[in-house]
Structure 1
Amino acid sequence: MIDLNKLLETLLYSKKDPILFNSAFFFYFFAVFLLCYLAAARSKRYRVAIYTIFSLYFFYKACGPYVGLILLSAIVDFNLSRWIYNSEKPGFRKGLMTFSIILNLGLLFYFKYMNFFIGVGNDLNVWHFNLIRDIILPIGISFYTFENLSYTIDVYKREIKPVDNFMDYLFFLSFFPKLMMGPIVRAADFIPQISQPYELDSEDIGKGMYLIISGLFKKVIISDFIYQNFVQYIFDDPSKHTGLECLLGVYGYALVIYCDFSGYSDMALGIARWTGFKIPPNFESPYQSASITEFWRRWHISLSSWLRDYLYIPLGGNRKGKVRQYINLWLTMLIGGFWHGASWNFIFWGGLHGTALAVDKVRIDAQKKRGGAPAGWKGTVLKIGGIFLTFHFVCFCWIFFKASTFHDSWALINQIVHDFQPEVWLELYNGYTMVFWVMLGAFILHFLPKRSENFAERTMARFPVWGSIAVMAFFIYILVQVKSSDTMLPIYLQF
């Protein structure tokens, strides 16, 4: 007999148990959603309604009453964009756009940065206010805020027409596969797909299944395992560990954050693909980058392109001289770091990357004057050296991104520099044998050429429907067997 109280408790929002792609509840949620969605496949109106209802419920299960924020954002920006587009008065149009920007950033500021600035003002004796208690960062607010802003700005610049149907815009904004952790999707890329008939071919099925399986594999098998069994111990108190342990912990975290975030992005892309929507990839093997500039073309691509189009270019981009270009790069990354969280560590992390991008721009300009990069064996050596240096610079920056405070960051660096103790490697290996093998395997998989991924996708596309279901069921079974009983919340859930 069904326990109605337990069922109701499962269906309602729980702060301690938010819905996650790798949770058991999500598999039931997705199965019911898919059955309803397929039943309405021939009607665009019903598809949108079903997808939107399930998306809003997904958001409710993730952060409870804050689902109202996404409804408010959709209502305001849907109407403002139409007024902006239909008005011929430049001042009025600019005023409406400014209001939209202030409202969106104001909500983000209140929930994400208010206590940070209150604390800074208190420390500097500018004011003396109490921190706001019980303020919770609504899940996904950083992502859908940027989507709202890009939509309104694009309409203001008349690069796109505003949406005529409110449900279409609410569907775009609340689309649950990308709601919690992105990618940041542009309305111009997504909304035209809403009216297209729902049709799936073998490529869609194969690509979607590959993305979902690879995403779950990266998140649960690699990221969660490495973090829970090694990385968290290092970063909890670096001073208790040797420099060798700390260095390996940093390498481990580089895998953890990549596999965690890209894993969720892959699952979002795969779910979207199965439901008839194509979202651009958010990661392209970023640790294969031979320069920091290339890294930011491969890492969190949707954020990088958003910052470029809506911050770097409006600041002046490269149109106002070299020095101004370098300053614009630095400011863009500084703000990008602050987007990640209200912490001096994130600001410092963004400043490091901004400085590196400016320096790399000097290198690129000098290389162009010399006629381009050298070819042959010299070019190969430089590329390998570039990958090595870029990876280690990124890892160095991850220390500040992950550590709770500056003190912890410098404590870890101090251990690596002054207390390395390489002689403990055998003891360390014996203590974390499986972790290190998983790390090695993850790096090998990451550096495989793109064609290996394409081969896997084509292979899955050849499976019949029953074969695809069998593969997915078998993978989920294996996942349940190896999954830790303690669910690890996604890293980017806090952003």
Structure 2
Amino acid sequence: MISVNELLSELLYDEKNPVLFNSGFFFYYFALFMMCYLLASRSKTARVWVYTVFSLYFFYKACGYYVGLVILSAIVDFNLSRWIYHSSDKKVKKSLLIFSILLNIGLLFYFKYTNFFIGIINDVTAGHIHPLSLILPIGISFYTFENLSYTIDVYRGEIKPVNNFMDYLFFLSFFPKLMMGPIVRAADFIPQISMPYRLTSEDIGKGMYLIMGGLFKKIIISDFIYQNFVQYIFDDPSKHTGLECLIGVYGYALVIYCDFSGYSDMALGIARWTGFKIPPNFDSPYQSSSITEFWRRWHISLSSWLRDYLYIPLGGNRKGKVRQYINLALTMLIGGFWHGASWNFIFWGAMHGSALAVDKVRIDWLKKRKTVITGWKATLFKIIGVLITFHFVCFCWVFFKAATFHDAWSLLHQVAYDFQPEIAMELYQGYTAVFWVMVLGFVLHFLPSRVEFSLEKFLGRVPVVGSVAIMVVFIWLLVQVKSTQPMIPIYFQF
């Protein structure tokens, strides 16, 4: 029988075991949450309090007392947005907005980039400034951008600020998306708070599909491929042949997609079961035939945020072609830096920004020539475009994943100069299960969307008892195949 001390240790924050959607603790937490939420479902105020308290506790279990930062930022931006809205002086409005931006960016900068710039100063001046003992609060990049979009939208007059502080704290702390996104905008979310809670068969089917699909992507595909193959390649690429390194890069492309989109899908599914619709964050990005299309399908909430709050304010395409290309490159450079305080991320962002600018030149050239490709040629060009885009994205993933530039170039060197295709059969025999899971992952990724819709409709028609049985069986199967130690999601570090 479990003792009081053991129970308390489970309920308190454990730095070594943060709460995850795919952890055993979360299933008990979510079951208790849903019971309380359903009991409070008839009252808007009760729903908000239950959801907010559970969300703050969830965040506490993930990062300890840094939960205070969410509450503090909610207090600050709730009040600043109201002052901005009620002020009639444009200069005061602008000053308050700048103050909000500086506070939010300053908080993010302090925790995420201080030691990075201390390192640069030490390198340039041969100084000996000691790095600070800072731990990056989980989710700070996501809720910082949500705060910024809220105050900016209020300043622009696109939304009215909320009158109830608990509504804003609920929006900011909403646990399904708090730690890894999607980056949800207040204009999309807050109006749903006052809507009556009704759960339809469509909500049940869609939510179940998203939760099960997300768990499958995360545990069966991402964790398995990473722990049994990809991590060995990237730990020291020089010890592996070029063929192993190339397959490792393909594997990582699946790992990061299934890891991040799996968590996003679970967030959308949980939200759907509790009466909230969050915009999708991924749309089969590796089916893209151009880098422009890729960024319309990958991490949609971030790319649209960068477009609306950075690219367009910089001038977008309104100040000439050259300025447009510079704005594209600069936006993606900053987007890369958002991911982490590392030259690798900056370089990754710069490559994508440059590719977007080049792709824009291509699109403009085709428009001027009024070139229209149809029939089998269009299909062929589509396939070629998908292959080129996928391999460019994979090339960039090397720098995104590698710990240093040296490791990235070491991997690329192995692919270029030590490929050794003759070991293919030996490699297959050693990693048969991994390669078949990779094949499964890519096949599922390229399935037509109508297959997904059909499965959602089927799950929506299953009675409640059947739905519970399906979830229980599915979770039991996951327990049989998942690793002993859950893998920390990749985007936790951002």
TM-score range, shorter chain: over 0.9
Q: How far is the alpha carbon of 1:369 from its aligned partner?
A: 1.3
Corresponding position: 1:355 with 2:354: yes
1:90-129 maps to which residues of 2 (within 5 A)? 90-125=90-125, 127-129=127-129
- Pairing of 1:223-372 with structure 2 (within 5 A): 223-372=222-371
Distance across 1 between alignment mates of 2:97 and 2:41? 36
Shift, 1:2, TM fit: 3.6
Indicate how the Cα distance of structure 1 residues 18 and 237 shifts in structure 2: closer, same or farther if over 3 A, else same.
same
Deviation (angstroms), 1:433: 0.2
CA distance in 1, matches of 2:214, 2:379: 31
1:74-121 Cα distance to aligned partner (Å, 9 max, x none) = 000000000000000111111111010000000000000000000001
Give the deviation of 1:373 after TM superposition. 3.8
Moved more, 153-162 or 121-130: 121-130
Q: 1:149 matched to which residue of 2?
A: 148
**Deviation at residue 126 of structure 1 after TM alignment:** 7.1
Amino acid aligned to 2:378: G
Distance 2:322 2:190 in 1: 39
Counterpart residue type for residue 242 of structure 2: G
Report 1:365-380 matches (<5 A): 365-380=364-379
For 2:124 and 2:251, locate their aligned partners in 1 and report how far apart those are by CA, in whole Å: 37
The AA in structure 2 aligned to 1:96 is L
Aligned to 2:44: 44
For residues 467 and 239 of structure 2, the distance between their equivalents in structure 1, rounded to whole angstroms, comes to: 48
1:416 aligns with 2:415: yes
Q: How many residues align?
A: 494
Structure 2 counterparts to residues 63-82 of structure 1, below 5 A = 63-82=63-82
Would you identify which runs of 4 or more consecutive aligned residues in structure 1 move more than 2 Å?
A: none
CA distance in 2, matches of 1:328, 1:456: 41
Any stretches of 5+ residues in structure 1 without a counterpart? none
State whether structure 2 residue 30 is matched by structure 1 residue 30.
yes
Give the equivalent residue in structure 2 for 1:448: 447
Partners of 2:105 and 2:76 lie apart in 1 by 13
Structure 1 residue 142 displacement after superposition: 0.1
Is 1:185 matched up with 2:184?
yes
Matched AA of 1:376: G
Q: Which amino acid aligns with 2:117?
A: F
| Helix, strand or coil at the partner of 2:138 | coil
Q: Kindly, what percent of the aligned residue pairs are identical?
A: 76
Shift in CA distance, 373/411, structure 1 to aligned 2, threshold 3 Å:
farther
Q: CA deviation at 1:273?
A: 0.0
CA RMSD of superposed structures (Å): 0.7
Aligned-residue offset at 1:127: 4.9
Corresponding letter in the other structure for 2:325: Y
Q: 1:155 to 1:126 in 2, by over 3 A?
A: farther
Letter of the 2:20 counterpart: L
Q: CA deviation at 1:440?
A: 0.5
C-alpha displacement at 1:427, in angstroms? 0.4
CA distance in 1, matches of 2:115, 2:8: 35
**Counterpart AA for 2:112:** K
Counterpart Cα distance in 1 of 2:129 and 2:90: 40
| Superposed displacement of residue 446, structure 1 | 0.3
Match for residue 15 of structure 1?
A: 15
In the alignment, the residues of structure 2 paired with residue 127 and residue 180 of structure 1 have an alpha-carbon distance, to the nearest angstrom, of 36
Which residue in 2 is equivalent to 1:475? 474
Question: Distance between the aligned counterparts of 2:100 and 2:278, measured in 1?
Answer: 25
2:396 matched residue in structure 1: 397
The CA distance in 2 between the partners of 1:131 and 1:158, in whole Å, is 42
TM-score when normalising by structure 2? 0.99
**5+ unaligned residues in a row in structure 2: which ranges?**
none
1:136 aligned residue: 135
Comparing 1-10 with 394-403, which one deviates more in the overlay? 1-10
Within 2, Cα distance between the matches of 1:401 and 1:330?
A: 17
Which amino acid counterpart does residue 124 of structure 1 have in structure 2?
Answer: V
Aligned to 2:89: 89
Which one is further off, 370-379 or 16-25? 370-379
Q: Which amino acid aligns with 2:33?
A: F
> Are 1:5 and 2:5 matched, yes or no?
yes
Shift of 1:378: 1.0
Offset from partner CA, 1:144-201 (integer Å, 9 cap, x none): 0000000000000111000010000000000000001000000000000000000011
Inter-partner Cα distance in structure 2 for 1:372 and 1:456: 39
1:19 corresponds to which letter in structure 2? V
Report the alpha carbon displacement of residue 227 of structure 1 after superposing the two structures with TM: 0.1
CA distance, structure 2, for counterparts of residue 154 and residue 480 of structure 1: 44
Distance in structure 2 (CA, Å) of the matches to 1:368 and 1:186: 34
Secondary structure of 1:96's counterpart equals: helix
**C-alpha separation between the residues in 1 aligned to 2:370 and 2:431?**
48
Counterpart of 2:454 in structure 1: which amino acid?
F
Instruction: Specify the alignment match of 2:163 in structure 1.
Output: 164
Aligned residue type for 1:149: L
State the Cα distance separating 1:372 from its structure 2 match. 4.0
Q: How far apart, CA to CA, are the structure 2 residues paired with 1:2 and 1:108? A: 40
Query: 3-state DSSP class of the match of 2:313?
Result: helix
Distance in 1 of aligned mates of 2:448 and 2:370: 28
Counterpart amino acid of residue 130 in structure 1: H
Report the Cα distance in structure 2 between the residues aligned to 1:334 and 1:128, rounded to whole angstroms: 28
The CA distance in 2 between the partners of 1:383 and 1:310, in whole Å, is 31
What does residue 202 of structure 1 align with? 201
Inter-partner Cα distance in structure 1 for 2:129 and 2:233: 35
AA in 2 matched with 1:472: M
C-alpha distance in 1, partners of 2:320/2:263? 39
CA distance in 1, matches of 2:20, 2:404: 28
User: What is the CA–CA distance in structure 1 between the aligned matches of 2:437 and 2:371, rounded to whole Å?
Assistant: 39
Residue 490 in structure 1 maps to residue 482 in structure 2: no
| 3-state DSSP of counterpart to 1:314 | coil
> What amino acid sits opposite 2:175 in the alignment?
F
Q: How far has the Cα of 1:343 moved from its partner?
A: 0.1
Partner Cα distance (2:126, 2:314) in 1:
29
- What code does the residue aligned with 1:451 have? R
Separation of aligned partners in 2, 1:396 and 1:198: 46
- Give the letter aligned to residue 382 of structure 1: F
Distance 1:129 1:2 in 2: 48
2:459 is the counterpart of 1:460 = yes
